[in-house]
Amino acid sequence: MGKRYTIICACGSSIATSTLVASKLDTLLKQNNIEATIKKTSYADLEKDIVALKPDLVLTTTNLKKDLGVPCLIGIGYLTGLGKAELERQILEVLHKKE
């Protein structure tokens, strides 16, 4: 068994869009036999969750314009469908670099 990753999905309230992003991320990970714990959070709690969980990757639904100290990708491709393939390529690239 390979590494188990921790990934945070963040949006404004941690209700709707982070749930959709997390669901699509989960599908991608399963298709690629990648094990991960996915945590949904709000932007207000994101920095606290990064410190507590030490994630391998953070997916947000907007550009936070700050360095969070961990790889961070904008997951808008999972909401609009535009750029989804590129987003998934980037997700897999980040995780494979963490192996």
What pLDDT does residue 73 have? 97
Of all residues in the chain, what percent carry a pLDDT higher than 70?
A: 99
Alpha carbon 24 to chain centroid, angstroms = 10
CA atoms within 13 A on the CB side of 60: 19
Q: What's the distance, Cα to Cα, between the start and end of the chain in Å? A: 12
Look at residue 66 and tell me whether its pLDDT is greater than 80. yes
| pLDDT-derived band at 98, boundaries 50, 70, 90 | confident
> Taking residues 74-98, what's their average pLDDT?
96
Which domain does 89 fall in, by range? 4-97
Domain count within the chain: 1
Q: What CATH number is attached to the domain comprising 71?
A: 3.40.50.2300
C-alpha 50/C-alpha 42 separation (Å) is 12
